[in-house]
Amino acid sequence: MPAADQTLRILSHLAHQRGPAPARSIATALGIPRSTVYHLLAALQEHQFVVHLPEDRRWGLGIAAFELAGGYSRQEPLARLGRPVLADLVDRTGESAHLAVMHGRDVLYIVEERAPRRPALVTDVGVRLPAHLTATGRAMLAALPREQVRALFPDAASFADRTGRGPQRPGELREVLRRVRERGWAFEDGEVTLGLGSVGVAVLDHVGWPIAAIAVTFPAEGAREPGTLAELITPVAAELGRRIGGARPRAPKL
């Protein structure tokens, strides 16, 4: 197996651990000879991509890996990759679409594509809205571990309100997210802006973590069928996930 492939597998493995890991466990998990793992870790340490903790006999990611992640953020690849697929989604649905990421209890909008002759939305780039009220937020929350959702929304004081609609307690949110998991897509009706509804689908990375979500927003009086929109959004979320090396969302249930 080429050394470059083994090196990248080691970095990817370390990135998914809760903390530094022993070389022995890295070798076992990846099926790479231990001597090879030590050799590659030494080279990575020389370039500061990993750091050795001799007291613990473990290896963790180094400062160069952090700088690489910073470069990824500066280049805004998710937004760059998202714009063309959202533009295509707007053409297909005739409705405005947006791409958002989680930011604490909120979602942060990073791309918006507006459809012609559709109402202005509050989801401008850079806007933050309560995740539990939005279709994008619900799609991502439903893909998170339940323990993390409980940590984000531990009590009624955690729930912001915009229009008097939407979950206001942890139990109500659990029920909303249960339905999202069951269908494979999220829906909100007037909970962000009265008279507007949205359907959202999560964009998953290669381990199934929700790195973003795509949603389409439409006027409630237009009588759009949410399940039909979900069928159009799901392949777009899958395509964006494919472009970033992610997982494919499951087919939506109508």
Same domain, 113 and 237: yes
The per-residue pLDDT for range 109-144, each reduced to its tens digit, is 999 999 988 877 887 788 899 999 999 999 999 999
Do residues 131 and 58 share a domain? no
pLDDT given for residue 218 in this prediction: 93
Single residue among 12, 39, 71 that ends a domain in this structure: 71
pLDDT 10s digits, 182-241:
999 999 999 999 999 999 999 998 778 888 999 999 998 767 899 999 999 999 999 898
DSSP structural state of residue 244: T
Q: Which is nearest to 126 in space by CA: 91, 89, 159, 101?
A: 101
**Do 80 and 66 lie in a common domain?**
no
One domain for residues 100 and 7: no
Two structure tokens written together for 101: 């990421």
Nearest residue to 213 (alpha-carbon basis) of 160, 146, 141 = 141
Q: How far apart are CA 144 and CA 163, in angstroms?
A: 26
Specify the pLDDT at position 40.
96
Read off the pTM: 0.70
Mean pLDDT of the chain: 89
Give percent above pLDDT 70 in the chain.
93
pLDDT > 90: percent of the chain: 62
Cα 195 to chain centroid distance, Å, stands at: 27
Question: 169 pLDDT exceeds 60?
Answer: yes
Average pLDDT (78-95) is 92
- Kindly compute the dihedral angle of the four CA atoms of residues 62, 19, 30, 23, in this order, to the nearest 10 degrees: 70
